[in-house]
Amino acid sequence: MLLAASCALAMVSVPTTAWSADKPETTSKAKETGKAKPVPVDCAKVKCIALTFDDGPGKYADKLLDTFKKHKSKATFFLEGQYVKSRPAFAKRMVTEGHEIGNHSYTHPHLREASEDKIRDELINTQDIVKKVTGKYPTTIRPPYGEFDERVTAIAKQMGMPIILWNGGSRDWATRNEKAIHDEVLKNAKRDGVILMHDWVEQTVKVMPKLLASLQKQGYHMVSVSSLRGAKATAPGDVYPVGSEKDEGLTSDSPTGDPDDFAQSPADGS
Ligand SMILES: [Zn+2]
């Protein structure tokens, strides 16, 4: 199982940091690959954190990618198939620039209330559109609202993918305030933490240069979730970070499903 997961990861990941802990690359080798390649980060040795962005590609994703590029940092984007279809260039750019893409369903339904066929369709259609647009399949699933049940877990297992939740929120969708978002993330930041944010929240994108600078000042390396998982590679159907599914405050970090929380549509012009 572990081997299968590692192989799947290796095949679909750009050769940056995604599986560096499984198979560390030497620094000298990394230098040979040229200046555009980031030096691989070994999270066993340095302080890592994974910043994750749900519901995109959002209309501000381009600006967010500029910021990550400038700070030589990596993010993980849990994308909705419907927006990959409407903003393919953003999804493609995420992969080209070495970020990780995860599956966040096609239309963001409550999976616990959906039929098994619907769950499968939502996940498989998103796999397909991401592959079509970026050339790579997502290797992880984050269910909308962080909600799942044993059917979702079983389907994830069949699809060969772990379920990725988070253990630190930003409440960006609720506060829509740059300082509040910055301070909330710093409050929740911890080594090997997984932070939830949204690239459709304009204030999140605006505060990101300051936030990345603050985190870097504290010694953090911003890496993809798969880099964090590294040697501890999660098996298909397993939940990561370990124990996050038991966190009762977890769902309060995620938008409640109020349409206002999803202030974008495929037709919003970007
Ligand atoms: Zn979501």
Expressed as residue numbers, the domain containing 158 is 2-21+46-244
Q: How many residues does the chain have?
A: 270
CA of 42 to the centre of ligand 1 (A): 29
The CATH code of the domain that includes 239 is 3.20.20.370
Query: Looking at 42, 54, 172, 238, which residue is catalytic?
Result: 54
Is residue 250 a part of any domain in this protein? no
CA of 146 to the centre of ligand 1 (A): 8
Note the pLDDT tens digit of each residue in 213-243: 999 999 999 999 999 987 566 889 999 998 7
Query: Looking at 104, 108, 182, 198, which residue is catalytic?
Result: 198
Is residue 130 a part of any domain in this protein? yes
pLDDT band at 41 (very low <50, low <70, confident <90, very high): confident
105 phi, psi to nearest 5 deg = 80, 175
Q: Model pTM greater than 0.85? A: no
CA of 200 to the centre of ligand 1 (A): 11
Residue type, position 235, single letter: A
CA of 108 to the centre of ligand 1 (A): 6
Assess whether 54 carries a catalytic annotation: yes
Strands 48-56 and 193-198: parallel
Is residue 36 a part of any domain in this protein? no
Is residue 7 a part of any domain in this protein? yes
Is residue 264 a part of any domain in this protein? no
CA of 266 to the centre of ligand 1 (A): 15
Is residue 140 a part of any domain in this protein? yes
CA of 165 to the centre of ligand 1 (A): 11
Contact predicate 99/72, CB 8 Å = no
- pLDDT for 248 equals 65
- pLDDT for 250 equals 67
The residues with which 120 forms a beta bridge, in sequence order, are none
Is residue 209 a part of any domain in this protein? yes
Overall domain count for the chain: 1
Is residue 81 a part of any domain in this protein? yes
Helix (H), strand (E) at residue 2: helix 2-12
More confident residue, 21 or 228: 228
Note the pLDDT tens digit of each residue in 146-198: 999 999 999 999 999 999 999 999 999 999 999 999 999 999 999 999 999 99
